[in-house]
């Protein structure tokens, strides 16, 4: 049986997260990490990579269905902030700089989050499906990976088992990559799938 985090564990986790976020803020200023402009009208370019992943796990217990629905809503909100993002050559893409902090006022709800080896409900839970897809695309495209963190627990059938996962946690566990050529990110959702693509593009 999994050991659930205690009140002390959660307090220690939040205190550590606050310290890391402060350090991250200082580092971002030095590294000049930006939120890049999005332009849904900018098409064209060469398709470099594509990732498709299922939105729904129909084998999950009934009790998790609400959290799955929350995950899908969170992915929808994050995809809107990401789709059409254009990154200049040799500049870093940062997941959190592009997505922003997930909160109720920006359309995020409770979803599934893997924390310290346990599945828990949290605002913005499920965004790792998007970061996993972005990391897989960056690998396919041969981009330089500047920051990536693996999950602490491998879920059967997930990208974690193949080493292609990238966990994220606001705002100190990030996913960052770059290319020697400018690129554009696409993120769309169908009724069943999350589809992420990378294209070449001109400078924004």
Domain boundaries, the chain: 7-200
Which two three-digit tokens encode residue 194? 């999350």
Query: Regarding predicted confidence, which is higher, 44 or 123?
Result: 123
pLDDT digits (tens, 9 = 90+) for 73-112: 999 999 999 999 999 999 999 999 999 999 999 999 988 7
CA distances from 81 to 38, 62, 99, 130, 170 (A): 8, 30, 6, 12, 15
Q: In the predicted model, is pLDDT for residue 20 greater than 50?
A: yes
Give pTM, 2 decimals: 0.81
Indicate the average pLDDT of the chain: 82
Beta bridge pairs of residue 81 = none
Range among 8-12, 54-58, 102-106 rated most confident: 102-106
CA–CA distance, 2 with 119 (Å, rounded to integer): 10
Kindly report the number of other CB atoms within 10 A of residue 154's CB atom. 14
CB 89 within 8 A of CB 147: no
CA–CA distance, 136 with 200 (Å, rounded to integer): 16
pLDDT digits (tens, 9 = 90+) for 138-177: 999 999 999 999 876 555 445 544 557 899 988 879 999 9
Phi/psi for 200 (5° steps) reads -75, 155
Mean pLDDT over residues 43-54, rounded? 91
Kindly report the number of other CB atoms within 10 A of residue 161's CB atom. 11
Sheet of 176-178, strand order: 93-94, 176-178, 144-147
CB 172 within 8 A of CB 23: yes
Q: How many CA atoms lie within 13 A of 165 on its CB side?
A: 23
């Amino acid at each position: 049986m999994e050991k659930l985090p205690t009140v002390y564990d959660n307090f220690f986790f939040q205190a550590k997260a606050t310290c890391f976020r402060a350090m991250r803020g200082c580092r971002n200023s030095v590294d000049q990490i930006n939120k890049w402009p999005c332009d849904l009208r900018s098409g064209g370019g060469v398709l470099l990579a594509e990732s498709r992943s299922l939105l729904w796990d129909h084998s999950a217990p009934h009790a998790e269905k609400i959290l799955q629905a929350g995950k899908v809503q969170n992915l929808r909100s994050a995809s809107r902030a990401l789709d059409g993002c254009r990154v200049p050559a040799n500049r870093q893409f940062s997941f959190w700089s592009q997505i922003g902090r997930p909160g109720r006022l920006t359309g995020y709800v409770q979803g599934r989050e893997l924390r310290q080896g346990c599945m828990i409900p949290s605002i913005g839970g499920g965004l790792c499906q998007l970061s996993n897809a972005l990391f897989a695309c960056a690998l396919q495209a041969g981009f330089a990976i500047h920051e990536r963190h693996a999950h602490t627990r491998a879920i059967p059938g997930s990208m974690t088992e193949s080493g292609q996962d990238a966990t994220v946690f606001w705002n100190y566990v990030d996913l960052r990559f770059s290319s020697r050529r400018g690129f554009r990110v696409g993120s769309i959702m169908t009724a069943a799938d999350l589809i992420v693509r990378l294209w070449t593009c001109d400078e924004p």
